[in-house]
């Protein structure tokens, strides 16, 4: 990757350290699949410990920065400008079932704008990074969103709302509307990786509603830095990172795709 800033170096180190432990825990989860009690408690414990590790490392390196994480809540910043945004284990359900598709996600915000992001998939040894103005990278390779224009050859990622979610009926209509028009739709179960895959051109687009800021902060920057566009699914003026109503895709297809989903 390009010369990483001091902040990005701290983020990469924290993600790697937490991931080492998660990989060990993941090996343990595979043994727990057969037990009656299941791996639920074990995994929520692994998740919490991973966040404690990351939080300690980040706050030690930058004590004046604020913090928000999925597991351990929020700390206000002393400098009034910076905030870490952490999902220690995105893809918890996959992890719980021994499915090797999950990641650690760390974003850094300055004055409300995401300026650096790390999404690390330790099972595949894929370290996605981005810094504002410095591009998006996978390990040492510069990323670009796909250049496809023809919807019929495009592959899209999505999130499926859980049963009982108010977003489910709308999603099912969108899926029925989009499926006949494209090459396929995948639901991989980790939004941070879905966004990183859009940045890498593996997905031509991704959409999901009801996301939290820690799911998407790092991945959203990657899409932008790889030349992609982010749009709010429902409101033209809204910021999808803040609203959690995320559409990420390339510039060629952003408008027709948004139109197609809204027509549903």
Task: Please check whether residue 257 is in contact with residue 204, taking contact to mean a CB–CB distance below 8 angstroms.
Answer: no
C-alpha–C-alpha distance, residues 133 and 201, integer Å: 19
Annotated binding site: 70, 87, 89-90, 215
Beta-bridge partner residues of 231: 247
Annotated binding site for Mg(2+): 70, 87, 89-90, 215
Instruction: Give, as one character, the DSSP assignment of residue 4.
Output: P
Beta-bridge partner residues of 247: 207, 231
C-alpha–C-alpha distance, residues 133 and 112, integer Å: 16
C-alpha–C-alpha distance, residues 243 and 245, integer Å: 5
Task: Please check whether residue 59 is in contact with residue 65, taking contact to mean a CB–CB distance below 8 angstroms.
Answer: yes
Beta strands in the chain (DSSP E): 66-69, 73-75, 82-90, 103-110, 113-121, 126-131, 135-138, 141-142, 155-158, 184-186, 205-208, 229-232, 246-249
CB count in 10 Å sphere of residue 216: 31
User: Is the C-alpha dihedral spanning 183, 188, 192, 197 positive or negative?
Assistant: negative
Q: What DSSP element (H or E) covers 29?
A: helix 6-32
């Amino acid at each position: 990757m390009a010369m990483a800033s001091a902040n990005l170096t701290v983020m990469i180190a924290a993600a790697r350290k937490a991931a080492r432990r998660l990989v060990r825990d993941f090996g343990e989860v595979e043994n727990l699949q057969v037990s009656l009690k299941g791996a639920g408690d074990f995994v929520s414990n692994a998740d919490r410990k991973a966040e404690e590790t990351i939080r300690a490392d980040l706050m030690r390196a930058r004590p004046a920065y604020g913090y928000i994480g999925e597991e351990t809540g929020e700390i206000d910043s002393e400098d009034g400008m910076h905030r870490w945004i952490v999902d220690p284990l995105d893809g918890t359900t996959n992890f719980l079932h021994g499915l090797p598709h999950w990641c650690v996600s760390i974003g850094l915000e300055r004055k409300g704008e995401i300026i650096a992001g790390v999404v690390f998939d330790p099972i595949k040894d894929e370290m996605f990074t981005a810094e504002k103005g410095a591009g998006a990278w996978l390990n040492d390779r510069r990323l670009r969103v796909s250049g496809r224009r023809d919807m019929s050859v495009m592959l899209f990622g999505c999130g499926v709302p859980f049963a009982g979610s108010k977003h489910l009926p709308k999603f099912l209509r969108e899926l029925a509307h989009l499926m006949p028009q494209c090459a396929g739709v995948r639901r991989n179960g980790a939004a941070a990786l879905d966004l990183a895959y859009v940045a890498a051109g593996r997905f031509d687009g991704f959409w999901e509603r009801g996301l939290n800021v820690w799911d998407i902060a790092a991945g959203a920057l990657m899409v932008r830095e790889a030349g992609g566009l982010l749009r709010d699914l429902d409101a033209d003026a809204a910021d999808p990172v803040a609203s959690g109503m995320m559409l990420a895709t390339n510039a060629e297809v952003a408008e027709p795709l948004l139109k197609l989903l809204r027509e549903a």
